[in-house]
Amino acid sequence: MEKQGLRITAATLAPFFLFISVLTFGLWFSVFRGGAVSNVITSTMSDSRVQSGFGVEFADSLLNSADATTRTAMEVHKPELQSALAKKLGTKESQDKVAALATQVFDALMNGSATTTLDIRPVLTDAIDAINTVPGIPQVTPDLIGDVEPKVLGSESDPLPDLGAVKSAVTALGIASILLGLLFTFFIWRESKTRFRGVGIPLVSVGAFWMLVTFPAPGIISAGSEMGLQRDIIKAASTAVLSGPRTLAMIFFVVGIALLGTHFYRSRQPKVESEIGRAHV
């Protein structure tokens, strides 16, 4: 009777903790794990629509700040300039520079730093390199950005928000939920007479649910944003952020399908052998 109660408890809690772990452990892996946010930024910057959008934005910004002669040349060659800037942003070198800046901000938010100072000149240098590849536009020298001051985010009177507690909560909940989910799953496996089905069903159910959520989610999340670069960034970034939960859901689903397939195969074996035996009699 006591074992029956434990089996019921395990059958209830295993799907519950597995369900939570897909989101919490998945988000920890794709965002809060050390260095993971750099992968999110790199993945976002690898999106061709994001690159094209930034190319347009950079080109407009350069047009507004250029001198009259350079501005006229940029207007004439604006499509080529936009393409060159987008192409430069698509290189690993430029993506790594942008990711380093984003990681610096992320670390400051997670560590409770009041301020952080960003040196954007390496990114501007890449923009200058892109401009200089466009024929017809006067060559721009790096001296143009020599006076650009590093950008300071936050201040002592208005510090950056401290999001370290969020990271700690997601990390703790993620690790605890995946361990408890696997522990109760193991108990089902050990105690159940139909272990393949007993473990396979919750894995397939949890995996299928989160797959149905995480695959369309980026499009749904970005749908509320304005058309253009903002929407493209949100869609690409949310795709990268949800890659952890999506991958874990797929693993659960595939393993669950394999276990259910094994259960079906093994349950059919005695019937097949019995029919073969009768045929020989």
Separation CA 139–CA 81 (nearest Å): 13
Separation CA 240–CA 261 (nearest Å): 31
pLDDT at 157: 85
Separation CA 150–CA 120 (nearest Å): 6
Residue-level pLDDT, tens digit, the chain, 281 residues: 567 777 788 889 999 999 999 999 999 999 999 889 999 999 999 999 999 998 988 888 878 877 788 888 888 999 999 999 999 989 999 999 999 999 999 999 999 888 999 988 888 888 888 988 999 888 877 776 666 788 888 888 888 898 899 999 999 999 999 999 999 999 999 888 888 999 999 999 999 999 999 999 999 999 887 778 889 999 999 999 999 999 999 999 999 999 999 999 888 765 544 544 454 44
Among candidates 265, 173, 268, 260, which has minimal Cα distance to 208?
A: 260
Look-up: residue for tokens 């019921």?
A: 8
pLDDT at 31: 94
SS (H, E, C) 82-125: HHHHHHHHCCHHHHHHHHHHHHHHHHHHHHCCCCEEECCHHHHH
Among candidates 218, 221, 276, 267, which has minimal Cα distance to 243?
A: 218
